């Protein structure tokens, strides 16, 4: 039976605002991948109405320097970057070594590898690789003052994306940081991002080491409920055997080594996350406690549900809102939503090459319009039963609310001049009170934007 609670009059206009304990960043920090431009170029969406603040875009070494010393002056990737910058959209590039076969250990069309000239010891002039330093320096000089954050490689703990050792990745990360800082001291360097899967198994392993087997199993059941793991585990002993397999131990070894080094190298720690919104803050706190890094970003945030999930698309759209709200509320310096469908990994994106997914696209558009703005202050009004996140910008007051359990409903009384929208941007009609459930609602006041 659905539980129903009723709370007293909500004094929306009389709340006192306070600045979050996290640093408040003034820029528009919600964005997506450059792939969304495909729909823009086909006239399927209008990016100006979408109000994205930043885009993730790959820069491959082979695109810039296909042969030793032969730098292409204006490759297509630079044209894409310039297009974004011309629209006032911040570019957060992911720089990868792939494609520069002349410079790498092996041919690497799709996988990044360490340069052939990677040295054992750090050189004060060029870091660990002279060829790689020159490549990075070219990018840094062309876009000096135009990049706020630069990401080096993608998911380096996974051999699918980084085929060399994790120790070699640390060397190119240090080299890239030196090359950028030598040209532009203000740019912030971020790591490749540990995958959502990687963080999950690291947390489980930590719990198992502490003898908390039941807690580890309960975490697994929530965190990996909709993941693409081929095996499912029905008791703690099965999970424990899996965690002790040679493949998982090797993966954890790479993750632990990288995590132990990041605080001393990067300016911003990067992480990827696709799992349950309920574990987002758990993971964020784990990351900060484990690494000691204060500035955190996610250049790959997404939603996934298995195909047999009822209301799959609606739930993915709801999760999108929750994750963007929690990321914004907790001071992530960049929040980049993964826009592509991926059936193999159960990922629900914003669309594909020819059309948008209405549920998720509407939810994303609503978030960028209402939340992607310079933030004056934030206040967390949550309780054990309900999530309530209040954001104040110069001319808009937005609270996003939802209950903590799928079967819980709460009635809230509101002043008549507060506008209420569901997570699809549809204005809600109400008289004396509004019912809040597990799907987010937006309460908007003061010069509310038309939706």
The more confidently predicted of residues 333 and 19 is 333
Which domains, from first to last, does the chain contain?
3-18+380-445 (2.60.40.1180), 30-373 (3.20.20.80)
Give the percent of the chain with pLDDT over 90: 81
pLDDT single digits (tens) 326-379: 999 999 999 999 999 998 899 999 998 889 999 999 999 999 999 998 888 899
Q: Which helix (H) or strand (E) holds 47?
A: helix 47-50
d(CA 64, CA 70): 8
Query: Quick check: 245 pLDDT over 50?
Result: yes
The mean pLDDT value of the chain amounts to 90
Locate 179 and state its tokens. Answer: 């090359």
pLDDT single digits (tens) 372-395: 988 888 999 999 999 999 999 888
Taking residue 309's Cβ as centre, other Cβ atoms within 10 Å add up to 16
Least confident of 315-324, 331-340, 383-392, 431-440: 431-440
Local confidence band at 448 (pLDDT 50, 70, 90 cut-offs): very low
Least confident of 24-38, 166-180, 363-377: 24-38
d(CA 223, CA 204): 10
**For residue 362, what pLDDT is reported?**
97
Query: What is the pTM (predicted TM-score) of this model?
Result: 0.92
Cα dihedral sign for 135, 140, 146, 151? positive
d(CA 137, CA 129): 12
Nearest to 403 by CA among 417, 385, 421, 419: 385
The more confidently predicted of residues 105 and 194 is 194
Helix-helix angle 280-291:312-329, to 10 degrees: 40
Averaged pLDDT, 434-442? 95
Q: What is the 3-state secondary structure (H, E, C) of 333-394?
A: CCEEECCECEHHHCEECCECCCCECHHHHHHHHHHHHHHCCCCCEEEECCCCCEEEEEEECC
pLDDT single digits (tens) 227-239: 877 788 999 999 9
Locate 234 and state its tokens. Answer: 């029905």
Length of the chain: 451
pLDDT single digits (tens) 64-93: 999 999 999 899 999 999 999 999 999 999
Query: Given phi > 0 = left and psi -120 to 50 = alpha, else beta, which region is 196?
Result: alpha
Give me the half-sphere count of Cα atoms (radius 13 Å) on the Cβ side of residue 289.
Answer: 8
**For residue 5, what pLDDT is reported?**
41
d(CA 241, CA 375): 47
CA 101 and chain centroid, separation: 30
Q: Which helix (H) or strand (E) holds 434?
A: strand 433-436
């Amino acid at each position: 039976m659905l539980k129903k609670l009723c709370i007293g009059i909500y004094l929306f206009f009389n709340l006192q605002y306070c600045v979050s304990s996290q640093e408040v960043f003034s820029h528009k920090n919600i964005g997506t991948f450059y792939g969304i431009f495909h729909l823009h170029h086909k006239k399927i969406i209008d990016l100006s109405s979408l109000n994205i603040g930043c885009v993730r875009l790959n820069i491959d070494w082979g695109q810039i320097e296909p042969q030793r010393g032969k730098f292409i002056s204006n490759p297509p990737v630079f044209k894409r970057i310039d297009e974004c910058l011309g629209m006032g959209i911040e570019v957060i590039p992911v720089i990868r070594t792939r494609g520069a076969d002349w410079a790498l250990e092996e041919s690497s069309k799709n996988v990044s590898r360490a340069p052939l000239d990677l040295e054992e010891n750090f050189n004060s002039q060029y870091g660990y690789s002279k060829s790689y330093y020159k490549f990075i320096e070219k990018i840094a000089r062309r876009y000096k003052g135009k990049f706020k954050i630069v990401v080096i490689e993608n998911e380096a703990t996974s051999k699918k994306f980084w085929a060399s050792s994790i120790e070699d990745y640390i060397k190119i990360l240090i080299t890239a940081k030196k090359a950028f800082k030598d040209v532009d001291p203000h740019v912030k360097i971020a790591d490749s991002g540990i995958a959502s899967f990687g963080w999950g198994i690291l947390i489980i392993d930590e719990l198992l080491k502490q003898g908390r087997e039941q807690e580890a199993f309960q975490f697994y059941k929530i965190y990996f409920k909709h993941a693409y793991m081929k095996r499912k585990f029905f008791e703690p002993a099965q999970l424990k055997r899996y965690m002790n397999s040679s493949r998982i131990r090797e993966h954890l070894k790479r993750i632990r080594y990288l995590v132990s080094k990041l605080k001393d190298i990067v300016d911003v720690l990067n992480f990827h996350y696709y799992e349950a919104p309920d574990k987002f803050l758990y993971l964020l706190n784990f990351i900060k406690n484990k690494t000691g890094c204060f500035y955190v970003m996610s250049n790959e945030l997404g939603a996934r549900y298995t195909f047999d999930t009822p209301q799959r698309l609606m739930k993915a759209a709801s999760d999108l809102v929750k994750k963007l709200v929690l990321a914004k509320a907790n001071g992530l310096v960049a929040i980049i939503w993964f826009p592509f469908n991926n059936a193999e990994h159960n990922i629900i994106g914003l669309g594909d090459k020819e059309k948008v997914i209405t549920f998720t696209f509407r939810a994303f558009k609503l978030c960028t319009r209402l939340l992607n703005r310079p933030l004056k202050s934030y206040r967390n009004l949550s309780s054990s039963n309900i999530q309530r996140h209040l954001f104040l910008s110069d001319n808009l007051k937005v609270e996003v609310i939802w209950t903590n359990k799928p079967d819980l409903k709460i009635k809230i009384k509101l002043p008549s001049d507060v506008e209420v929208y569901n997570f699809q941007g549809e204005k809600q009609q109400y008289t004396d009170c509004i019912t809040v459930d597990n799907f987010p609602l937006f309460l908007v006041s003061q010069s509310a934007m038309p939706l």
